[in-house]
Each structure stands twice: as C-alpha cells, then as structure tokens.
Homo-oligomer: A and B are copies of this chain.
Amino acid sequence: MEIGFIGLGSMGYPMAENLLKAGHALAIWNRSREKGEGLASQGARQAGRPADAVSADGVAITMVADDAALESVVLGPDGILEKLGPGGVHVSMSTISPALSARLAELHRARGSHYVAAPVFGRPDAAAAKMLFVLCAGPAAACERVRPALEAMGQKVFPLGEEPVHANIIKLGGNFMIMSVIEAMAEAMTLGEKHGVPREKTMEVLTQSIFPAPLFVNYGKQIAAHAYRPARFKLSLGLKDANLVLGAAARAQVPMPLAALMQGRYLAAVAKGRADLDWTAAALNVAEDAGLDPGDGH
C-alpha cells in the first residue's frame, strides 16, 4: 500500500527519498509541486492535494515547517484527517507544539484513526544519510505498523510509549539542550578570546577531553570560525523551537531560565536580521556583547 508523504522541504525530501529506496510505494504532496519532481521521476505519485496523497486505512507521514503548516495539511479543507478514517495512521514527524500534538491525537482518536508522534534528531545531511534518530510515541499497534517505514529513514527508532506528546517533549528538550550548548560554547570561547586564547584552541581542548561528542566538535567548529552560512538549521527555526519550549514550559508550570535566556538570544538574532543564518549564529550575540567584531558582515 502507498504511503502518503506530505512536506518535501530540506528534511522531508531526503526522508521520502529513503522510503522510495527502501522499496515503499509513495504518494507525495508539497505546497509547491515542483519540489516533488525529483521523487516523481523515481516513481512517486504526485498528489494534487494532501488528502489525495493518502488512502482510507492507509499511512500518512507529515514533515512540515510548523504548527500552522501541519494544521493546514491535516485539518484544512484538503487535509488528511477526514480521508484517513478508521484504521488509518498519521505519522507526525515535524517539530511542533505538544499542545497541537495532543489535539491531533484526540481528533484522530474520535475518527478511529491513529496519531503517532515521530519527531527526529538530525539535520538534512543526516536525513540524506539515513542517520536520523527517530522518536516514536503513539498507540502500540500503529507504532508497530509504521516501524519499517521509520527504520527506512533513520539509524535508530526510540519507542516511547503510547502518549504522542511524550515524543514531542523529548524532542523539544533535546533541541533546547543544543541551544544551551551553543550559548555555553560561545561564552567559553569568547571568554578565552578576550584572554588571548584562540577560539579554536578552547574547543580543541574541550572536545578532546570532556566533550568528545560529534555535536560539540561540529557546532564548535562553526562557532569558533563564526561560519554561519549556509544554514544547516535556520536560526528562525531555532527561535520557533525556543518558543515551543517556553510554551510547553508555561503549560506545565516549569520555570526554565536557561530556555528563557535562549529565547532572548534567538529573538535578538532575528531582530538583527539573522533569521536565515545557521542557528549557531546566536553565538554572535555573545561576541558583540563583549565588544568584539566577528567580521564579514553577518
């Protein structure tokens, strides 16, 4: 049976391509149809509207930019919700608010379809290399049914129980921790720089000792060199995620001063015209606050 794949952006496209490579039949839909041409030439069927990409009792995967885009492709007049019907499964892989996730789970439940939250860790290059980490929470039978598809898109799938929101919360927690690490690295490097220690040297020592993880090595290099183009994950998306974290924190009454600090950093960066740089460019705030000129007209 065809899988419906909605959203062919920088993440969705390579994910869908890996599904095709693994032998899954795909129907695809994207707001701008031309984004799907490469996949169509590999055998995917282009649908005219989201609902036409999915079949009753089928599986629909969504990977779109934000809450509004997801509401549109699910709940809008051409949306998938009514089409899926009893037995259908909606695998929601976008980074969205836990509130919307809970709402969609309820709407699906009322129609006899199933909602699975399956957000991912990894940037577009990881998606292309099938190296994503995929979280998965939802009704057990639905998770089991879509597991082969999830495994075709990532290196590891984490089963996280029956409650979709749990996957969204862990995803937001992870993105929040990355933001925090960006700020921490930026402050440590700037402290070093103003004491005469080259930024690269600070990160070299720390990544070869207490922080050997690839994330520190890769993000550290970008921040050390102030190399924020091209964006691997846009700063505007970092702000979106910071807002999602604070929204989830407000709903559950969890004061998160570090998350609030990071929301301010991303807001400042967007205000300074940096929405399209990589989200590590939040480090520029630290350098500028210290009176440094990071150069090259960011």
Residues on A facing B (Cβ under 8 Å)? 98, 121, 133, 135, 156, 158, 160, 163, 165-166, 169-170, 172-174, 176-178, 180-181, 183-185, 187-192, 194-197, 201-202, 205-206, 208-213, 215-216, 245, 248-249, 252-259, 261, 286, 289-291
Q: Assuming A187-B258, A187-B259, A248-B195, is B169 touching A209 (CB within 8 A)?
A: no
A121 touches which one: B192, B202, B210, B213 (CB < 8 A)? B210
Q: What 9 pairs across the A-B complex have the smallest Cβ distances?
A: A173-B188, A180-B184, A133-B209, A194-B252, A213-B213, A255-B289, A187-B256, A254-B290, A169-B195
Complex Cα gap A156–B158 (Å): 35
A253 touches which one: B181, B194, B201 (CB < 8 A)? B194
Contacting pair A191 B256 (CB below 8 A): yes
Complex Cα gap A257–B180 (Å): 12
Complex Cα gap A243–B291 (Å): 22
Contacting pair B194 A160 (CB below 8 A): no
Q: Assuming A174-B188, A195-B169, A209-B174, is B261 touching A261 (CB within 8 A)?
A: yes
Complex Cα gap A215–B211 (Å): 7
Rounded to whole Å, the gap between the CB of A289 and the closest CB of chain B is 4
Contacting pair B160 A191 (CB below 8 A): no
Complex Cα gap A156–B254 (Å): 41
Contacting pair A191 B169 (CB below 8 A): yes
Contacts of A286 in B (CB 8 A): 254-256
Contacts of A254 in B (CB 8 A): 187, 190-191, 194, 286, 289-290
Closest B residue to A257 by CB, please name it: B261
**Copies held by the complex:** 2
Q: Assuming A209-B174, A215-B210, is B191 touching A258 (CB within 8 A)?
A: no
Contacts of A165 in B (CB 8 A): 195-196
Closest B residue to A187 by CB, please name it: B256
Contacting pair A206 B166 (CB below 8 A): no
Closest B residue to A189 by CB, please name it: B173
Rounded to whole Å, the gap between the CB of A288 and the closest CB of chain B is 10
Rounded to whole Å, the gap between the CB of A268 and the closest CB of chain B is 11
